[in-house]
Amino acid sequence: MVDFNGDCFEKTYNLEPTSYLHHIEKIIIVMYFSFTTLSTVGFGDLHPKTSQERAAAVLVMLFCTAIFSLILGEFLKIVEKYKLLDEEIGDGD
């Protein structure tokens, strides 16, 4: 686990403008932390350490978020149909 000890994000992950990392690696690191935060996965005890692992984690989180959104959308459609059916039955009384 990363121990920040007051260091900023840029320094901890060597994202400073003068760092030796390639731009692609910097983008992957930033995307990983963005998707981890947005998908509410959390950083946890197990986390990727290389750019390849971070890229794979980003793809998995993006895929899982898309699937969750599709399922939630279908669930909301079912609830809306149930409400319409309930209104139709209620008007018949």
Residues 12-33: tens digit of each pLDDT: 666 766 656 677 787 887 788 8
> Of residues 54 and 38, which shows the higher confidence score?
54
Quick one: which H or E segment has residue 3?
none
Q: How confident is the model at residue 7 (pLDDT cuts 50, 70, 90)?
A: low
Q: How confident is the model at residue 70 (pLDDT cuts 50, 70, 90)?
A: very high
| Spatial distance between the Cα atoms of 65 and 81, rounded to a whole number of angstroms | 24
How far, CA to CA in Å, does 87 sit from each of 13, 30, 75?
56, 48, 19
pTM (whole model) above 0.75: no
- What average pLDDT is seen over the chain? 77
55-67 average pLDDT score? 87
Q: Is the dihedral of CA 79, 82, 83, 84 positive or negative?
A: positive
Q: How confident is the model at residue 9 (pLDDT cuts 50, 70, 90)?
A: low
Query: Three-state SS for 47?
Result: coil
| Spatial distance between the Cα atoms of 26 and 91, rounded to a whole number of angstroms | 60
